[in-house]
Chain A
Amino acid sequence: MFKIAKENLSALFSKIAENNELILPVKVANQTNFGYWSEEADVDLDTLKTVKSAKDAFFPQSENLYTCTKEDKKIKITPEELQSQNFVVFGMKACDIKGVEVLDKVFLADPVDTFYAARRAHGTIVALACHEPEETCFCKVFGTDCADPVADVATWMIDGELYWKAITEKGEALTKAVESLLVNADEAKVEEEKAAIRAIVEKLPYSDLSLEGWNGDVLMEKFDSPVWEELYKPCLACGTCTFVCPTCQCYDIKDYDTGHGVQRYRCWDSCMYSDFTMMAHGNNRTSQMQRFRQRFMHKLVYFPANNDGMYSCVGCGRCVDKCPSSLNIVKVIKAFENQGGNE
């Protein structure tokens, strides 16, 4: 266990950035999102939740796949290069790290997504424990301990000092690279901090949320429930919930006419959108009720059915914070509990 004073963090970031791209929470125009570090960046480790999750670091909202250009009468196809530069994501919270586990199930399963796999191979995650969890958090429901995040390195911010503990080989390597800036520390303060965080988590309003009745075996029963018809109504059909979500992984592939060529890119898609999964035969889901149902069925039924019971919600609570109509997955789970949708 090591530690470093908060005022030395910029030296730490410079050191990390010598050999890595560094991605961490940066404040731009009053909002904190994960972004690239630079000397000028306004690094913000105090905001508990970035607006978007850290998902972009491994699965960016928009990325080129290849570019076609015309050369005389031939078309030249240039594939996008895979990530080859090592990078560090600093300050990820336990829920977002669990989100990456969910993405791994999708993108590292056969056939492997090479773009994603390259990023996972070159990325090192430095986790930050959640100093003061908030009322919208419910990671505990999914078995995550935000007091003791598991990543390549785990860190805790306690009284102006960052405590640092390497967990994996990648983490050891990063620690070695920055160890000139770290000093030895004992674990007593970290243990105290963990206990304090866990005590707060126990008191969070959503910590006792029950997932009973949600699993991979209840497909038709949940799908056919009349509860959806009531629940979806305030939904504006925007994509906020899907775009701030650390686990939503659906994407679309599109061509962009650059005027002298074509960029084929992929970008996040949202099951809330009317043209989602639009194909030659038409549209899979023609009403907003169906689209709304899809999102929650995917998180709580389809995903566990295909991934040994693993839910694809991690309880980060961003949708709770951000839905313009104040809808969210917690309200859906509770509605089924209260209105007999589980029968």
Chain B
Amino acid sequence: MQELVNRAKELLADGTVVRVLGWKAGDLPYNPEPAYFTSAEELDNFVYNGFCGANLSKYMIEASKLEGKTMVCLKPCDTYSFNQLIKEHRVDREKAYIVGVGCKGKLNIDKIKEKGIKGIQSISGAEMSDACDTLTIQTLYGEKTCSYAEAMLERCHVCKGKEHMIYDEIIGESKDTKDAERFAEVERIEAMSPEEKFAFFRNELSKCIRCNACRNVCPACSCRKCVFDSTKFDTAQKANVDSFEEKMFHIIRAFHVAGRCTDCGECSRVCPQGIPLHLFNRKFIKDINEFYGEFQAGADSEARGPLTNFTFEDCEPSIVTERR
């Protein structure tokens, strides 16, 4: 982490960048927040550890409108989002100095708390320099331990790899933390009967409180004004008028980001009700892979997406395929 801070100070000092976008230490052992730093003194509060899960790509939409360059810290999976945002003309590559930061998997505090660990006073083992095997947690109710892998975010179990897709320089080592099949959960749901599927999603989505955290954190949701925020549209954002509406909101959103979603997992990370929202997107990704060939959104910043690139050879999923 010190190497990152030192480099940030250098880049600020030599005028390469005018601000640094990273994470600021929180007031609990696990709640650092995304933050801008404009001076060496401010960088004293800079932190980069296992709890820095936030994907900073989306913040670059606003940072691209500011004067001067921003040094932005992107983890390998965050760089897919950044590429996709370049492709959609939502960020300015010239305004970003991308430091690809090392990543050994990011932590989900809820996973730790699910184990009954509470009254947390300090956590060791979450530093990037650590081996990232075991977390030792001091609590008001005694010392606890938890394996690092078990406390990781879902997305880290299906890690896209340790390579950064776009960067100006790389600081720190990364580790491929994949230990599960990316589409296993989707396949499990596909195998369900329609009634089971409906029950599964009704159960999950009935928890939705329409806080819009999934939408607001999503790098693919970058519309200036969301249709669900419109005062002139019947589907106002704030409430579920009936039990179908919360499903509709999420299904529409999944359609809207289809072919553009990089599977960064931020939607599921931020959902206060723990809804596995990434499953919708992953189903689309799986279908797109099957229909149009393997495609990973954000692997580069130029290739046309499968849903925006018409060819006569395109398959026609749905009824048309059956007719042929």
Interface residues of A, Cβ cutoff 8 Å to B? 28-31, 33, 48, 51-52, 61-62, 132-136, 200, 203-205, 233-234, 236-240, 242-244, 252, 254, 256-257, 263, 265, 267-270, 273-275, 278, 320, 322, 324-327, 330-331, 334
Contact = CB atoms under 8 A, between A and B. Distances in A.
Contact of A243 (B119, B120, B209): B209
Given A132-B141, A243-B211, A275-B231, A237 B119 contact: no
B213 A265 contact: no
Majority secondary structure of chain B interface residues (helix, strand, loop or mixed): loop
A61 B239 contact: yes
B145 interface: no
Indicate the size class of the contact surface on chain B: 35 or more
Given A135-B119, A236-B213, A243-B211, A326 B272 contact: no
Nearest to B34: A234
Interface string B139-153: 011000000000000
B203 interface: yes
Contact of A244 (B33, B34, B272): B272
B204 interface: yes
23 contacts: A28-B206, A28-B207, A30-B274, A52-B209, A62-B239, A132-B118, A132-B119, A133-B119, A135-B119, A205-B121, A233-B34, A233-B36, A234-B33, A234-B34, A238-B217, A239-B213, A243-B272, A263-B241, A265-B239, A269-B238, A273-B229, A273-B237, A322-B272
Given A233-B36, A238-B213, A275-B229, A136 B203 contact: no
Interface string B234-274: 10111111000000000000000000000000000110111
Given A243-B211, A267-B238, A324-B213, 9 more contacts: A31-B273, A51-B207, A51-B273, A135-B121, A136-B28, A200-B119, A238-B215, A254-B236, A325-B34
B121 to A, nearest CB: 7
A28 B231 contact: no
Contacts of B212: 238-239, 273
Interface in B35-56: 35-36, 54
Given A135-B121, A234-B33, A238-B212, A268 B217 contact: no
A135 B234 contact: no
A28 B203 contact: yes
Contacts of A252: 236, 238
Contacts of B33: 234, 325-327, 331
A18 B273 CA distance: 31
- For the complex of A and B, 4 pairs with smallest distance between CB atoms: A267-B239, A324-B270, A326-B31, A238-B213
A229 to B, nearest CB: 11
Contacts of B274: 29-31
